[in-house]
Structure 1
Amino acid sequence: MLKKNFVAFGLLAMSALAQAGQTIDVYRDPNCGCCKEWISHLRDNGFSVNDHVEPNMSAVKQRLGVAPRLASCHTGVIDGKFVEGHVPAEQIQLLAKRPDLRGLAVPGMPMGSPGMEMGDHKDAYQVIGLTRDGTDEVVANYP
């Protein structure tokens, strides 16, 4: 019985990773360490990552329509939508189910968010969705 449960759990986990097996382009500053950590978080959660080192991140954000109020240190693009900052992989996976959103953002660099893990300290933060009409919507809260 235990062996069957273990096999079932393994198949379920592999299925979740296969569903997440999307490609995301990540644009980052060459000197930012937390960006590399976020990329590791994505890969650990089944994403294929194209890593682009950019000397002018402001231009990238402007081209993709990332509002300054949503800005962080790196910007991803998946299926034509932006992913700004330390957005957890689980939220990116749900982005495909939200055609009303232009992208997701975790503004700033909250401690404890993916890529910003440093000890036990965790800041509360929100994942913000930018709707097609330009308004912000809280899509997830992390305590």
Structure 2
Amino acid sequence: MFKRKLSLAVGLMICAVAQAAEPLTIDVHRDANCGCCKEWVKHLESNGFKVVDHVESNMSAIKQSLGVPQGLASCHTAVIDGKFVEGHVPAEEIKKLSSRSDLAGIAVPGMPAGSPGMDYGQSHQSYQVLGLTKAGAQEKVAQYPASQ
């Protein structure tokens, strides 16, 4: 009886570890000809995400359907747990998004040098990760400093 309980306990622990190791799945919508989008996908994958890659011909329509404001736009748009992720958002900020039920999505507007997918060995620009609340207000979620 003890061995059976021990085997059951070990089995449950293995299942718990396997579930904890499951990658987060994120859908990425991008233009076929954009190199930085491919680099951002690599950044996500190296940080434990399972990326479902969607090559699109009309990114404007994707952004509009997800409610991404023009002022937050960048080159690629992702979706995770029903929320948008616009532009070169660091993986660590995406992982925090699930704890923010008040946000419709997060964005790094434009294409700041040194952000994930835009790091080509040059000096890094300062940039912010902005959140869009479900009420439509914008707020700073994170700040990344420039490098010298």
- TM-score normalized with structure 2 length: 0.84
Between the aligned partners of 2:21 and 2:79, the Cα distance in structure 1 is 19
Between the aligned partners of 1:139 and 1:26, the Cα distance in structure 2 is 21
* CA RMSD of superposed structures (Å): 1.6
Between the aligned partners of 1:82 and 1:110, the Cα distance in structure 2 is 19
SS in 2 for 1:93: helix
Between the aligned partners of 2:123 and 2:29, the Cα distance in structure 1 is 27
**Number of equivalent positions:** 128
Between the aligned partners of 1:22 and 1:134, the Cα distance in structure 2 is 26
User: 1:109 — aligned with what?
Assistant: 111
1:77 aligns with 2:88: no
Between the aligned partners of 1:115 and 1:121, the Cα distance in structure 2 is 14
SS in 1 for 2:75: coil
Residue-by-residue CA offset, 1:73-109 (whole Å, 9 max, x unaligned): 0000000000000000000000000000000000000
Between the aligned partners of 1:18 and 1:113, the Cα distance in structure 2 is 26
1:133 aligns with 2:126: no
| Structure 2 letter corresponding to 1:68 | Q
User: 1:44 — aligned with what?
Assistant: 46
1:31 aligns with 2:33: yes
Between the aligned partners of 1:39 and 1:18, the Cα distance in structure 2 is 19
Work out the percentage of aligned pairs sharing the same amino acid: 66
User: Quick one: which of 123, 127, 132 aligns to 2:125?
Assistant: 123
Between the aligned partners of 2:104 and 2:132, the Cα distance in structure 1 is 6
User: Quick one: which of 49, 53, 56 aligns to 2:55?
Assistant: 53
- The offset of 1:120, in angstroms, is 3.6
After superposing on structure 2, the runs of 4+ consecutive aligned residues of structure 1 that deviate more than 2 Å are none
Residue-by-residue CA offset, 1:16-74 (whole Å, 9 max, x unaligned): x837x210000000100000000000000000000000000000000000000000000
1:64 aligns with 2:66: yes
Gaps of 5+ in 2: 1-16
User: 2:94 — aligned with what?
Assistant: 92
Structure of larger gyration radius: 2
SS in 2 for 1:52: strand
SS in 1 for 2:99: coil
Between the aligned partners of 1:120 and 1:110, the Cα distance in structure 2 is 11
Gaps of 5+ in 1: 1-13
